[in-house]
Amino acid sequence: DADVTQTPRNRITKTGKRIMLECSQTKGHDRMYWYRQDPGLGLRLIYYSFDVKDINKGEISDGYSVSRQAQAKFSLSLESAIPNQTALYFCATSDSGTGMYNEQFFGPGTRLTVL
């Protein structure tokens, strides 16, 4: 089984709809991240969480919210989806610390299309 899983893998929705993307991990890591990837722009950080009670905004958090339900689960919500949120979304995890244990591991991604 994959260490970092994301559901759904693909989603097509309409403008104005509320969407939730879910991420689960079995790596036992305390840190989790949500990124989006757009062609030509690379991956950009949306939100991150260093433990269950910690939520931090990334560089492009507007229009998104997150919930850290447990150490292993981190959900991303689009309260009212708009077409420019069409992108590939990735969840990632890492162990705590700034030394050798902070390699990030990524899920397979969710392709979201907002019509």
Instruction: Kindly list the residues in this chain that would bind other proteins in the complex (CB under 8 A).
Output: 4, 33, 40-45, 48, 50, 56, 58, 90, 92, 98-100, 102-109, 111
Provide the β-strand partners of residue 62. Answer: none
- Among residues 43 and 52, whose Cβ is nearest to other proteins? 43
Q: How far is the CB of 112 from other proteins (least distance, A)?
A: 14
Q: For strand 42-49 and strand 31-38, is the pairing parallel, antiparallel, or unpaired?
A: antiparallel
Q: How far is the CB of 45 from other proteins (least distance, A)?
A: 5
- Among residues 70 and 99, whose Cβ is nearest to other proteins? 99
Spatial contact of 9 and 111, defined as CB atoms under 8 Å apart: yes
Q: How far is the CB of 66 from other proteins (least distance, A)?
A: 15
Cα–Cα distance measured from residue 12 to residue 97, given in angstroms and rounded to the nearest whole number? 37
* The one-letter amino acid at 87: A
